[in-house]
Chains A and B, each alone.
Chain A
């Protein structure tokens, strides 16, 4: 593949008719997703719709029972998480999940665990300080002592330290005060504008669709809608399901 056209036609990260099970529970049913370089896309769904399972499958923490997970044109079904992280897939987990007993600096350094390019790591650290000046002030503090908003910054910083090509965000609005949610989504937008591909998983459909280009809606493990953000926002089914009514 050489031309730009080829790059645009090959998704960076893809799921091809993936099925996944937790024991007897059929968690994902024939899910098709494709994330292209430069995308800012989101996966929407309520509780137990399979959103987290999708992320786990993409990262290799759960093996699909059938179908393929494709990273940059390569089927990675049998590759471990570390292989995928080394090739540019990184996640900001739900509720941030920092290493609370470790210092902020150590948290950030762990983000770059698989990298050995010391000079570039230092440069990336500087870039993160520019993005989040507050983080720099707290470097030697234990991560568990930071406020929720600061922890969110460290979690993002830690993910960016891996030098990702695609950033997976698990419920970025979860467990944050409304003002911080707003700030967080602005941050995601900012990171995306700086050239990063972002895939968000969210319950807060309005918030996610306000910044995303495109989205999928997941219901009991099946993709029921796949459309642009504007169309989804206007879609009657989506409005209905987020008003808490049962689906048709």
Chain B
């Protein structure tokens, strides 16, 4: 590595720089004050600092705090699974596929239909695990197909056009899938069948709902499988090669189009899996289900460092935990009212904060753009 030593030359600071610095300091101050107030409450619920700004602040007990963390992690794992699709497609094609959230919705819908069919047949109750595996497989297949068809019909004809064009197309695709869902299944919210008690109930093991443990375990396993596929198989190596330089990858004999299809397929399968987990956890799905989780998963991908697999998962968990814990932990002691409505604001504040402090994301890396000699 050749690095120019000696002091770094500083560019003159502009108003924008000062504004950004101010934002950073302000964000860090808010977090610090909120955290301090919270910690103080844990030690002494009657301390004046906790009520310094908000006389009605209640404080959190340790168990509540743990509960929030756990639900945040489970939520974050789902964001992470969806984020993988955003991140991988961006890595290979360089555009954000905004319709990816709808693939997730398609997964949740498929799961709803299949699980209700299974419940009608009585299999859902008698063999829950078997049924779950079945709906996961069906949903992953449907979502893979959705993503692959999407690539073939909407994006491949636009290959080679400026990035903005597939980006806008993806918004169109997103509306198309949402409206197709209304046409096929109606505009009302639809419910998953009731799940067994062991999934719903809190367990003696740290009083965590079974469903949340299930989500975390499934997400961890699928993440590991995906990591193995991408890092240690020939197809994964081809994906990474295409992501870095498609022209040279073609020169190695890699079929670039086929690799891109594989990337869409893998992203779709992960979104399908996330859709089922969502269904098990919230047991209700509607045609707009994909929108907010989709946008948050996109934020997660950016927060983690877009194009980076581990980053997508880390970003997802960061956003999930932040939006779960943040409102009560930081905003309430500061005297903000109606904090539990502000989870989305917290999630996107994390996105903005990370972009201000570390524009490449948590795991984003920058290699020198041009060749060194």
Interface residues of A (CB under 8 A from B): 59, 61, 80-82, 85-86, 90-91, 93, 95-97, 99-102, 106, 109-111, 113-114, 142, 144-145, 147-148, 151, 158, 162, 175-177, 180
When the two chains form their complex, are residues A102 and B372 in contact, meaning their CB atoms are under 8 A apart? no
Residues of chain B within 8 A (CB-CB) of A100 are 244, 367
**CA A223 to CA B237, docked complex, whole Å:** 40
When the two chains form their complex, are residues B372 and A113 in contact, meaning their CB atoms are under 8 A apart? no
**CA A95 to CA B244, docked complex, whole Å:** 15
When the two chains form their complex, are residues A99 and B371 in contact, meaning their CB atoms are under 8 A apart? no
Residues of chain B within 8 A (CB-CB) of A109 are 237
B252 within 8 A of A: yes
CB distance from B261 to the nearest CB of A (A): 15
Report the nearest A residue to B243, measured CB to CB: A101
Residues of chain A within 8 A (CB-CB) of B249 are 99, 110
Q: Which of B244, B251, B254 contacts A102 (CB 8 A)?
A: B244
**CA A95 to CA B371, docked complex, whole Å:** 7
Report the nearest A residue to B368, measured CB to CB: A144
When the two chains form their complex, are residues B254 and A99 in contact, meaning their CB atoms are under 8 A apart? no
Residues of chain A within 8 A (CB-CB) of B234 are 113
**CA A158 to CA B241, docked complex, whole Å:** 13
When the two chains form their complex, are residues B373 and A175 in contact, meaning their CB atoms are under 8 A apart? yes
Q: Which of A93, A110, A114 contacts B237 (CB 8 A)?
A: A110
CB distance from B94 to the nearest CB of A (A): 15
CB distance from B43 to the nearest CB of A (A): 47
Report the nearest B residue to A112, measured CB to CB: B252
B194 within 8 A of A: no
**CA A91 to CA B251, docked complex, whole Å:** 7
B44 within 8 A of A: no
When the two chains form their complex, are residues A82 and B255 in contact, meaning their CB atoms are under 8 A apart? yes
B17 within 8 A of A: no
Residues of chain B within 8 A (CB-CB) of A158 are 252
Residues of chain A within 8 A (CB-CB) of B16 are none
**CA A81 to CA B365, docked complex, whole Å:** 31
When the two chains form their complex, are residues B371 and A148 in contact, meaning their CB atoms are under 8 A apart? yes
CB distance from A144 to the nearest CB of B (A): 4
Residues of chain B within 8 A (CB-CB) of A175 are 371, 373
Given contacts A81-B250, A102-B244, 14 further A-B contacts (CB under 8 A): A82-B254, A91-B251, A93-B248, A99-B240, A99-B245, A102-B237, A102-B240, A109-B237, A110-B238, A114-B252, A145-B1, A148-B371, A175-B371, A180-B373
B12 within 8 A of A: no
Residues of chain B within 8 A (CB-CB) of A90 are 251
B120 within 8 A of A: no
When the two chains form their complex, are residues B251 and A85 in contact, meaning their CB atoms are under 8 A apart? yes
When the two chains form their complex, are residues A113 and B253 in contact, meaning their CB atoms are under 8 A apart? yes
B201 within 8 A of A: no
**CA A187 to CA B17, docked complex, whole Å:** 50
When the two chains form their complex, are residues B241 and A110 in contact, meaning their CB atoms are under 8 A apart? yes
Q: Which of B1, B240, B253, B371 contacts A96 (CB 8 A)?
A: B371
When the two chains form their complex, are residues A97 and B248 in contact, meaning their CB atoms are under 8 A apart? yes
Most buried by A among B234, B245, B252, B254: B252
Residues of chain B within 8 A (CB-CB) of A145 are 1
When the two chains form their complex, are residues A101 and B240 in contact, meaning their CB atoms are under 8 A apart? yes
B247 within 8 A of A: yes
Residues of chain A within 8 A (CB-CB) of B247 are 61, 97
Asked, given contacts A97-B245, A99-B240, A144-B367, whether A177 binds B373 with beta carbons under 8 Å apart, the answer is: yes
CB distance from B158 to the nearest CB of A (A): 18
The 4 closest A-B pairs by CB, nearest first: A114-B253, A85-B253, A148-B373, A82-B253
Could you name 8 residue pairs across A and B whose Cβ atoms are closer than 8 Å? A81-B251, A91-B251, A95-B371, A99-B249, A100-B244, A102-B240, A113-B253, A176-B373
**CA A82 to CA B254, docked complex, whole Å:** 7
Residues of chain B within 8 A (CB-CB) of A81 are 250-251, 253
**CA A56 to CA B238, docked complex, whole Å:** 21
Q: Which of B342-373 contact A (CB under 8 A)?
A: 365, 367-368, 371-373
Residues of chain A within 8 A (CB-CB) of B250 are 61, 81-82
When the two chains form their complex, are residues A99 and B253 in contact, meaning their CB atoms are under 8 A apart? no
CB distance from B224 to the nearest CB of A (A): 20
Q: Which of B1-30 contact A (CB under 8 A)?
A: 1
